[in-house]
Amino acid sequence: MNAADRIVGGLLALLAGVAVVLQLVLILQTGEGSTAAIVLRFVSFFTILSNMLVAGVCVAVATGHARPRWRGAAALYITVTGAIYSIILASLWSPTGAQKVADELLHHAVPAAYVLAWLVLAPHRRLAWGDALRWLVFPAVYLGWTVARGAATGEYPYPFVDVGRLGAAQVALNCLGIGVLFAVLGLVLVAVDRALPARA
């Protein structure tokens, strides 16, 4: 792992950390209910979890302890975060002020910067095809948790998993589509890793 990789890892950890903390401050200021309920709602967004993973992985990169599989997982999850937001969610609201800043950081700046750093600086030819399958576990658990929590509270972080509004069949179809997206992008990511030159 070279010095540039570690430096960029530290900077990206800071960027993702600032984005997550800013969004937490904003939701604490505007959210309803107890602090615990607001924080639980906050961490129920895949956007937040993927940015937190990027921050954690980048800390590991900066300290020389990052594993290729975790770096690849972060690249996959943050790519899906940016893609689904841009394609489906961005048109549903128009944030302003500090919320606009948080929105841009979480959904555009961090995904683009992390994936670019992974492509250019990370050591490659370390991933196996089986990693694409392993990376599906977390999204599957997340979707299960989201649907279960929604059934209990009536709150869904994203409109495409809102069982109350769309019905169970449509949500199941939506989740299947998202699962396919994760699987395909995971395989593409492994293929790219195996095609790029190995680095020390």
Residue 162: its pLDDT value, please?
96
Q: What is the arithmetic mean of pLDDT over 28-38?
A: 89
200 has pLDDT over 70? no
Confidence band, pLDDT 50/70/90 cuts, at residue 2: confident
Q: What's the one-letter identity of residue 61?
A: V
Contact present, 124 and 10 (Cβ < 8 Å):
no
pLDDT digits (tens, 9 = 90+) for 84-116: 999 999 999 999 999 999 999 999 999 999 999
Mean pLDDT over all residues of the chain?
95
**Which residue carries 């895949």 as its tokens?**
46
Residue 41: its pLDDT value, please?
94
Confidence band, pLDDT 50/70/90 cuts, at residue 1: low
pLDDT digits (tens, 9 = 90+) for 64-74: 999 999 999 99
Residue 44: its pLDDT value, please?
96
30 has pLDDT over 90? no
pLDDT digits (tens, 9 = 90+) for 161-176: 999 999 999 999 999 9
**d(C-alpha 89, C-alpha 11), whole Å:** 27
Element (H, E) at 9: helix 3-30
Contacts of 74 (CB under 8 A, 6+ apart): 50, 53, 54, 57, 114, 118
Residue 64: its pLDDT value, please?
92
Element (H, E) at 74: helix 68-84
Residue 26: its pLDDT value, please?
96
